[in-house]
Amino acid sequence: MCRVGGLHSFQHRIVWGSEKEEELERDDDKSWTLYAQTDDASSSGCGMSQRPEPLRLGSVAPNFDADTTNGPINFHEFIGDKWVILFSHPEDYTPVCTTELGAFAKLEPEFTKRGVKLIGLSANTVDSHGGWIKDIDEISGSSLKFPIIGDKERQVALAYDMLDHQDATNVDSKGIAFTIRSVFIIDPKKTIRTILSYPASTGRNTAEVLRIVDSLQTGDKHRITTPINWVPGDDVIVHPSIKTEEAQKIFPKVNIVKPYLRFTTLPKEETSANV
């Protein structure tokens, strides 16, 4: 298999049919059908059959080398001993993406307090990112400091399955698909702990991403899980792997609603939000 910058190279194009009519068809239900076209001239033998297995929770985050607005990185070296949030946006100089990047920049201090690094990505160049950051800061009143990956060839996007397979308008001037709004929360062991995918039309909720980090970090520390709409300071659920007898020793205030549903208090000061 080919390797480019630490990634397997998948030199094929995702085409929406602007170049060849037969490559994009409309089904009877009006949904779009997506085809991949192998670029034989540049593939060096790499094709669709070499696309990686889908990433799942528990997968090791693929490593890669890339240029960013803060200089070149090796992704695993960038992670180091920190948590990382890798998130993609469809395109620079677009309205929803501008609001998102500004919001992440303004909330970055909260992520940093929790030992979390942010890193963005889109299928634009680093130079494009650099100019756009000025607009983001002007519009949002932010000071964006985290790196944004330039992934014009979609190599990282392909490895992380970030490309848009449903929106026929989310493409570049050549009809090649842009990225969707993906979020990967990765722990210090390089393990993917959360995967979120939003369509290009829907902006993300940065507070929810932070809440997930708090849930994961607090759960790792205290052997608990978090119920619906939990925020730090709310009651938590004793992990199912802990027997009730042990739970009563670990959590003196455990409330046994059902044998499988046992709540306990956990003050905000004992969560990862206490920073």
pLDDT in tens, 242-251: 999 999 999 9
Catalytic hit among 15, 85, 86, 97: 97
The helix or strand, by DSSP H or E, that contains position 194, with its residue range, turns out to be strand 192-198
Using only the alpha carbons of the chain, give its radius of gyration. 21
The pLDDT assigned to 52 comes to: 61
* Dihedral sign of CA atoms 238, 242, 248, 249 in order: negative
Cβ neighbours, 10 Å, residue 65? 16
Domain boundaries, the chain: 59-204, 223-270
| pLDDT for residue 1 | 24
> Tell me: the pLDDT tens digits for 194-229?
999 988 889 999 999 999 999 999 999 999 999 999
Confidence (pLDDT) at 175: 58
Domains 59-204 and 223-270 share a fold: no
On whether the CB atoms of residues 78 and 120 are closer than 8 A, the answer is no
Q: Is 97 a catalytic residue?
A: yes
Mean pLDDT of 121-150: 94
Q: What is the pLDDT of residue 225?
A: 97
Percent of the chain with pLDDT over 70: 75
pLDDT at 85 over 90: yes
**CATH architecture label of 223-270:** 2-Layer Sandwich (3.30)
**What pLDDT score does 201 carry?**
85
What's the mean pLDDT when you consider all of the chain? 81
Token pair 């085809």 is at which residue? Answer: 35
Through-space distance between the first and last CA atoms of the chain, rounded to whole angstroms = 45
- Rounded to an integer, what distance in angstroms lies between the CA atom of residue 61 and that of residue 185? 10
CATH topology of domain 59-204: Glutaredoxin (3.40.30)
* Per-residue pLDDT tens over the stretch 26-75: 333 333 233 333 333 333 333 333 556 789 999 999 999 999 999 999 99
Average pLDDT, integer, range 85-109: 93
Q: Which residue has the higher pLDDT, 179 or 160?
A: 160
Question: Is pLDDT of 2 > 60?
Answer: no
